[in-house]
Structure 1
């Protein structure tokens, strides 16, 4: 069951403290840091707001890079495949894994179509891929909006699509579940070769 936003926000500091603890363990070697040759960019792309769909086996280089980066950031926080699956499915639905510069829906932007007016950060922060992923997970200091770990700290007990919807509050909640198989495929395809990103 989702918790109220006020209750979620009240335990944000505890969750952040837990994340810091996981990050500390990572620094001690339980998680391998990102390889030096791996350079993640903040490139942007635009698209019309349509329902043409996401083509898993026709992804362009930007989509592949963004999928790998989501996995790297999730790993960097010491989180697991389920967290990555929820995060990837959400980014597929919201942006087809492309980092959007202009607002395509009111003031929304970035991988998760986060809205500055709804507390997700500034115009630039919602388009900054690392900050956008952190905010979605509930681990972004810049964001006032509750994320996954705020609203569903027991996300393993949730249907992944329902966990995504708890964060996004979409008018089309069924779309997240539709993309779970694609997200699981992306994890299986790339996770073994992507190192944790901890910067």
Structure 2
């Protein structure tokens, strides 16, 4: 049938009035589709044409267009600069930003990042998620360097800023347009955190801290010295040379590999006793890295951090201070150096054994005297300026407890005198 015949046939079946209503609905729908379709098509064209422009904007984000999106601000967070370690590490972070030419903006980002990563302490942590440690919770497994580099505040700050030579990981200076980013975005671009928006909460506290230490950081040698960015020697275990930074630059005095016993104690040991404190001072971490590089005695290779072992501490203190360079095989495993089970027979053969521990008095002790019992060794060092005690010791983590990094013991009595295996020795 022809179209007109079809129309007459359908009308006879459904009725002319119903057919007219259907036609009216169809016409209205067509008009609506036409009206809505034009802007949709135009919008699609505009989106395509604007793609390149948007890409350009994304390359250099504008703070004004992104502020407030997904940022975890929370209550105002501040840093306690009355804590000596916090303040010193803030000075280091700021000084290295100055050295890298990043100004206050870069220093604030670095400080806020470290504040979040250390839980607000800006302490050089020896623990973290998986294998992360240090001021920025950097991970060896992620290519940030080995533990000795990560736990060197200068090297870790340089790594965050992207100016260190011991890692090829992108740092702040490698992030295009970081100066215009929100703090939290710039920090996240470096850190790759599981909480990418949390850094912003520390912005105000970081700005205040940076302003407070700015003048001090500008005068600090680290703001001018390229002390920690030299390449790690090929085949070395972790940049011991890079750790040996300028004297007076890091907390609690020099970072020293060798020197007088008093100098090494101030560089290596905490002045007070805190059982379970595993964080190493920068000087001791540098010494352990150097000893490992030289094939020296560093204790259990599975120890984290490496070197928190009574035998490692006492051996290196005695040898590197020059008190007795032959002590415990000169600190060389190749010459018989080892733990207490090897040190005791060495002292029996080379040093003078003192009367039994129960008979000794504090007045009998001389700096350099070494005490030893089954599984532990320590040293009497006498009064040392700024230190709270006359004994110094360290301990490896074991089934008996968490151990502790080198520190002073303020006991006023002969240590471990009640242990039947305790004996004291003096250099002949």
User: TM-score if structure 2 supplies the norm length?
Assistant: 0.33
Tell me, in whole angstroms, the C-alpha distance in 1 between the residues paired with 2:114 and 2:135.
5
Indicate how the Cα distance of structure 1 residues 189 and 106 shifts in structure 2: closer, same or farther if over 3 A, else same.
same
Indicate how the Cα distance of structure 1 residues 59 and 176 shifts in structure 2: closer, same or farther if over 3 A, else same.
farther
* Superposed CA offset, 1:14-62 (max 9, x none): xxxxxxxxxxxxxxxxxxxxxxxxxxxxxxxxxxxxxxx9652465110
- 1:15 is aligned to none
- 2:308 is aligned to none
Equivalent position to 1:162, from 181, 185, 190: 185
| Greater RCO (Cα-Cα under 8 Å, separation 6 or more) | 1
Tell me, in whole angstroms, the C-alpha distance in 1 between the residues paired with 2:162 and 2:190.
9
Indicate how the Cα distance of structure 1 residues 76 and 58 shifts in structure 2: closer, same or farther if over 3 A, else same.
closer
Tell me, in whole angstroms, the C-alpha distance in 1 between the residues paired with 2:208 and 2:106.
14
Q: How does 1:27-176 map to 2 (within 5 A)?
A: 55-57=78-80, 59-95=82-118, 96-101=121-126, 103-150=127-174, 152-176=175-199
Indicate how the Cα distance of structure 1 residues 58 and 122 shifts in structure 2: closer, same or farther if over 3 A, else same.
closer
Tell me, in whole angstroms, the C-alpha distance in 2 between the residues paired with 1:140 and 1:100.
20
The question of whether the paired residues in 2 share the 8 Å contact of 1:121 and 1:144 is answered with no
The question of whether the paired residues in 2 share the 8 Å contact of 1:135 and 1:143 is answered with yes
Indicate how the Cα distance of structure 1 residues 58 and 130 shifts in structure 2: closer, same or farther if over 3 A, else same.
closer
Greater CA radius of gyration, 1 or 2?
2
Tell me, in whole angstroms, the C-alpha distance in 2 between the residues paired with 1:99 and 1:81.
22
- 1:177 is aligned to 200
Offset at 1:153? 3.6
* Superposed CA offset, 1:128-165 (max 9, x none): 11110111011111113211111x24211111111001
SS at match of 2:102: coil
SS at match of 2:169: coil
Indicate how the Cα distance of structure 1 residues 66 and 2 shifts in structure 2: closer, same or farther if over 3 A, else same.
farther
Range with greater deviation from structure 2 (176-185 or 55-64)? 55-64
Tell me, in whole angstroms, the C-alpha distance in 2 between the residues paired with 1:127 and 1:155.
25
Offset at 1:76? 1.4
Offset at 1:197? 3.9
Larger helix percent: 1
Indicate how the Cα distance of structure 1 residues 89 and 162 shifts in structure 2: closer, same or farther if over 3 A, else same.
same
Offset at 1:188? 1.1
SS at match of 2:198: helix
The question of whether the paired residues in 2 share the 8 Å contact of 1:54 and 1:92 is answered with no
Indicate how the Cα distance of structure 1 residues 92 and 106 shifts in structure 2: closer, same or farther if over 3 A, else same.
same
Residue correspondences, number = 148
User: TM-score if structure 1 supplies the norm length?
Assistant: 0.69
- The reply to whether residue 188 of structure 1 matches residue 211 of structure 2 is yes
Measured on the aligned residues, the alpha-carbon RMSD in Å equals 2.0
The question of whether the paired residues in 2 share the 8 Å contact of 1:74 and 1:80 is answered with yes
Offset at 1:113? 0.3
Tell me, in whole angstroms, the C-alpha distance in 1 between the residues paired with 2:81 and 2:147.
30
